[in-house]
Amino acid sequence: MIGKHRSRNVYLLALVLFLSVITVGEWFAPFEDVNQVGRVFADRIMLRLMRLIVFEHPFPGRNNGRLPDSSLVAYVLGGTQDSMIYKLRTVGQLYAEGMVRKILILHRPGITEYSPELGRNLTNDEWAAGKLKEEGVAVENVEFIPVPPASFGTFAEARVISSLVRSRRVKHLILVTSRHHTERARLSFSHFNVDNAFESYIYGSEERVGIIELLRENLKLRMYRYIVLPIDHLRGGSGYSENSVSVPDRNF
DSSP string covering 112-177: EEEETTTTEEEEHHHHHHHHHHHTT--GGGEEEE-----SSHHHHHHHHHHHHHHHTT--EEEEEE
Average pLDDT, the chain: 83
Q: Is 66's pLDDT higher than 70?
A: no
pLDDT at position 248, please? Answer: 52
Give the C-alpha separation, 193 to 243, whole Å.
16
pLDDT at position 29, please? Answer: 46
Average pLDDT over residues 15-42: 53
Give the C-alpha separation, 185 to 121, whole Å.
31
Average pLDDT over residues 35-51: 76
**pLDDT tens per residue across span 77-93:** 999 999 999 999 999 99
Q: Is 64's pLDDT higher than 80?
A: no
Average pLDDT over residues 56-68: 70
Q: Is 37's pLDDT higher than 60?
A: no
**pLDDT tens per residue across span 194-215:** 999 999 999 999 999 998 999 9
Q: What does each C-alpha distance from 139 to 125, 136, 142 come to in angstroms?
A: 11, 9, 5
* Selected residue with higher pLDDT from 168 and 19: 168
pLDDT at position 15, please? Answer: 55
Q: Model confidence at 45, in pLDDT bands (50, 70, 90)?
A: confident
Q: Model confidence at 44, in pLDDT bands (50, 70, 90)?
A: confident
Give the C-alpha separation, 105 to 129, whole Å.
9
pLDDT at position 193, please? Answer: 95
CATH superfamily for 72-244 is HUPs (3.40.50.620)
pLDDT at position 7, please? Answer: 53
- Element of type H or E holding 217: helix 211-223
Q: Choose the weakest-confidence range: 35-44, 107-116, 175-184.
A: 35-44
